[in-house]
Amino acid sequence: MGFFIFERAKKGPRKLKKYQFLVFFSAILIALGGLFWFAQTKKDQSLDLEQLNALGLVQLPFPRTLENLELLTQEGELFDGSQLEGKWTYAFFGYTNCPDICPVTMNFLESTEQRLRETLDSDQFDVFQGMFVTVDVARDGVDEVREFVSRYSDLFLGVTGTDDKIADFAKQVAVGYRRIPSASEIQYLVEHQGNIVVFDPQGDCYGYIKPPFDTVQLTRLFQHLIKHG
């Protein structure tokens, strides 16, 4: 009997230690699995419709294909829409003599590009493109657009052209504008919409971002678009 009791006492702690080890090991596996799931969830998490609307994004029911574009880039080369392919483009329609809205919005596009450069890997960053389209071709030729765009980024695309071609482009993406009557042919204002037009990697009009803008908002929307757009 004494021998039996001794053996039980001897084996008991071993079983307990083994049990404790299994519990501890299982807890580690569960914790690691939870961390992995959380990381993947955060990585792949998309913004829901309410969040997108709160950030100002208006997505069209169906992307709008562009047609018959015969414009000019800031380098004097043909702009036919192919320059939009393979990228998510934030485009702003304005004019270089704009006193407020245009430079402010272009500054936001510039700061967004800088933020994306700092936070994304090169492959993702290369998908971003900022673009300026003039709606004042009487004063904004190739040289003026090139100088204006270069103030903000050497990577931004600038677009100009003839009155009818610019009007057609703006109409296709539902951007309205008009010259405000003035006695001067040089000093005048142009009234235009303040939305940022979003083009998808197929070169189609994807939707719009409504003002007011800020860098965090524009960056967050772009990060959503490259993963879930």
Mean model confidence pLDDT for the chain: 87
Position 229 scores a pLDDT of 80
How confident is the model over 5-61, as pLDDT tens digits?
Answer: 444 444 555 555 554 555 455 545 444 444 443 344 344 457 888 999 999 999 999
Confidence of residue 203 (pLDDT cuts 50, 70, 90): very high
How confident is the model over 157-171, as pLDDT tens digits?
Answer: 999 999 999 999 999
Q: Which of 1-15, 91-105, 213-227 has the lowest mean pLDDT?
A: 1-15
Q: Which of 24-28, 125-129, 151-155 has the lowest mean pLDDT?
A: 24-28
**Structural domain spans, the chain:** 1-45, 49-228
Q: What is the mean pLDDT of residues 129-138?
A: 99
The one-letter amino acid code at 189 reads L
* pTM of this structure: 0.80
| 119, 79 contact by CB (below 8 A) | no
Position 46 scores a pLDDT of 76
Nearest to 69 by CA among 85, 80, 83: 80
CATH topology of domain 49-228: Glutaredoxin (3.40.30)
Query: In this structure, what DSSP letter does residue 159 have?
Result: E
**197 DSSP β-pair partners:** 91, 208
Position 125 scores a pLDDT of 97
Looking up tokens 């994306």, which residue turns up?
Answer: 116
Confidence of residue 144 (pLDDT cuts 50, 70, 90): very high
Nearest to 207 by CA among 98, 20, 87, 57: 57
**192 DSSP β-pair partners:** 177
Position 65 scores a pLDDT of 98
| 136, 99 contact by CB (below 8 A) | no
The one-letter amino acid code at 163 reads D
DSSP code string of 171-220: HHTT--EEEPP-S-SSS--EEE--PEEEE-TTS-EEEEEPSS--HHHHHH
Position 37 scores a pLDDT of 36
pLDDT at 2 over 80: no
Give the tokens for residue 81.
């829409």
Give the tokens for residue 91.
């485009």
Q: What is the mean pLDDT of residues 146-152?
A: 99
